[in-house]
A and B are shown apart, each in its own frame.
Chain A
Amino acid sequence: QVQLVQSGAEMKNPGASVKVSCKASGYTFTSFGVSWVRQAPGQGLEWMGWISAYNGNTNYAQKLQGRVTMTTDTSTSTAYMELRSLRSDDTAVYYCARDRGGYCTGGSCPGWFDSWGQGTLVIVSS
């Protein structure tokens, strides 16, 4: 069965970086994309960005441009999300999700998240 397993909780100081991993299994990793979604405490879902596991193309949410980098390692079917210059309002649960858009993110390409990781809590505090 499709499974996404994320790395464990992290506590970081303001200004530091965090890198969260998401190991996929149960499907052909390069046939799909991976989106990252975060959720601040008591708040809604915020889409952070997408990466094609096929060719490594990325699209990021405008508000995170310049601070976020998404990568994949196809040899281990693992996706990574690095967020830099952390602030207290980056405190959230970070989810990876299998994105049906494997090659593109336009409306003519599928764009739903049909499997999710368990979430990784990142706390930013001094």
Chain B
Amino acid sequence: DIQMTQSPSSLSASVGDRVTITCQASQDISNYLNWYQQKPGKAPKLLIYDASNLEIGVPSRFSGSGSGTDFTFTISSLQPEDIATYYCQQYDNLRTFGQGTKVEIK
């Protein structure tokens, strides 16, 4: 099984800050990596697919990069509505989620 390790598990930042989350795969997964946002009590929402492609309708302050085993998710300017937990997910071999990163406002 492919393991996905996200860091940090939580972070606190100010409105307007640049926020970066990393996701590391236990083996090479090419660019087969997606990112989701989940707000409390809601279903997850797809933000980024194939490591760097923005889903239609998602604000451009969200971005993703990386390939192989190391991936990065960035919010260029944190907004109050971005408070959520973010998950990476690989699909090179079946599907696996990272453990999540909870983003809070400082």
- Which A residues form the contact surface with B (CB < 8 A)? 35, 37, 44-47, 50, 59, 61-62, 95, 97, 100-101, 105-107, 109-114, 116-119
Query: Does the CB pair A50–B94 fall under 8 Å?
Result: yes
Find chain B residues with CB under 8 A from A106 CB.
92-93
Closest approach, in angstroms, between the C-beta of B8 and any C-beta of chain A?
A: 14
In the bound complex, residues from chain B placing their C-beta under 8 Å from that of A50 are 94-95
Interface size class of chain B, counting residues whose CB lies under 8 Å from the partner chain: 20 to 34
Confirm or deny: B44 has a beta carbon within 8 angstroms of a beta carbon on chain A. yes
Check if B29 is an interface residue, CB within 8 A of chain A. Answer: yes
Distance to closest chain B CB from A96 (angstroms): 10
Contact A47 B94 (CB under 8 A): yes
| A105/B91 in contact, CB under 8 A | yes
Interface pair A101/B91, CB less than 8 Å apart? yes
